[in-house]
Structures are given as structure tokens and as C-alpha cells.
Amino acid sequence: MLKNKTILATGAGSGIGRTAAQTFARAGANVVVVDLNEAAARETVAAIRAAGGQAEAVVCNVAVEDEVAAMVAFAVSHYGRLDGAFNNAGIEMHNKPVHELTAAEWNSVIAVDLTGVFYCIKHEILAMKANGAGSIVNTASASGVRAQANSSEYVAAKHGVVGLTKAAAADAGPLGIRVNAICPGLIMTPMARDRLMHDPVFSQALDGLRQRHIIGRFGETSEVAEAAMWLLSDRASFSTGTAMLVDGGYAI
């Protein structure tokens, strides 16, 4: 599905990003595995190579534009072109009501989860223009289409990603570049298992969150990765500016 395409994936050192990078590689892509954690990125690359795939690791803080520009430049210089990008890097909310949130806490989430996506889209489009084609997929969230308590900074960022995706699709369409988003529900990632579920505020809401997923369970990283791969591929050639829900019915 992605044979011989160069695909960049951020936040690919663990969770959805790691599974997606491995999924892209199995589909024949050359994968640029990007993460802030170098060891984690290299673990993903090692797993891909062990399975016979092609991958390279890049360390990048997506909240820093110069680092994002360098990340994209590496992909182009190493593999000759950039065909697709999965902008997945993100951090979680602070689990506080809006009136208790500090400016620093607000800014920390917006910087990564929204501004970081902007930086990625900007430089990826600049690289893909040379091809006259490309596909970008941004990880938003079910929180990008509905809200819940104690997560105003995260909800705002993810709503922003949905809007940014639509606006970028309008700008990039004439260049032959598609831009879409996926909106996962609660996915069983290390971030969810190791941090969110141990937060006393978040854990109190867990039963309610599970009930909101009308499919009766939380999601798996592979389910999000498959959706991202479809949107990146030519099979989704008539899809742009969409925010695909992969949420077990959470946002209904």
C-alpha cells in the first residue's frame, strides 16, 4: 500500500506512533522514525529493521521549528523525497479544571499538540511541493470534536488540529497534497496506561469514559495505525480535509 514511499512519523518511539511506523514499514515504506526520546526512536527502528523493513531514526522536538525543518530535510536528503507524513507527536492534559490551569501548563500542551503540528505541516508541504503530490495525516483526538472536564488545554489544542487540518487541506489541495486528521478515542498506549490511568482525577472518570465508547472497550494502537495508513495511501485519493473518527463511538 505504501511500497517505496518515504513516510515520516513523529512521536514514533512508542504507542500509536511506534505501531504506525511498523505498520507503514510492513506496507513497504521507507520510514523516518521521529521522537524526542532518541533511545525510543532507535528501538522502533531496530524492530522495523529486524522485520526486514527500512527505517531511520531522527530526534526532534516538534515544538521547535528549526528542529522540524531539519527533520524534514533529513527525510528528503536520505531518501530523496517525502511522500507522506504522520504528525502524531503529542502530550496529555494536566487533568485540571480550566480555572486552576496555569499559563505554563496551557502553553506546554498548545506548543506540542497544536503549534508542533503547524510546524510539521508547513515544512512537509514545502518538501512535498517538489513532488506535486503528498499526503499528511495529523493525530487529533475525539477531544477534537467534543469536550470533557479537566482537559481544556488538550481539547483546545485538538480542536485546533481539526481546524488546521481543514485549512491546510484547502491551501495544499492545488499543490496535489492531501491533508487529513484522525481522531482516536482512548487508546491503550503507554501514556494512557502508565500516566493517565494513575492520575487520581483521570482515574475517577475512567468508568464514564469506558461507557462513552459504545463499542464496549478502549482502542488498540493497531486500529489507529491502520486508519492512518489508509489515509496516507493512494486508496484515500479522494479524501482530504477530513477528521476521521477512530473512537469506538465515543463522539456520537
Are 109 and 154 within 8 A, CB to CB? yes
Cell numbers placing 217: 472497550
Q: Is 154 tagged catalytic? A: yes
Gap between the Cα atoms of 14 and 141, Å rounded: 17
Per-residue b or e along 121-147, where b marks 16 or more CB atoms closer than 10 Å to that residue's CB: bebbbebbeeeebbbbbbbbbbbbbbe
Per-residue b or e along 81-108, where b marks 16 or more CB atoms closer than 10 Å to that residue's CB: ebbbbbbbbbbbbbbbeeeebeeeebee
Q: Which residues contact 241 (CB under 8 A, 6 or more apart)?
A: 165, 166, 169, 170, 173, 179, 180
**Residue 30 bridge partners (DSSP):** 6, 54
Residue 74 burial (CB count, 10 A): 18
Gap between the Cα atoms of 66 and 112, Å rounded: 14
Which has the closest alpha carbon to 133: 232, 12, 26, 62?
A: 232
Per-residue b or e along 178-211, where b marks 16 or more CB atoms closer than 10 Å to that residue's CB: bbbbbbbbbbebebbeeebeebeebeebeeeeee
**Which amino acids are annotated catalytic?**
154
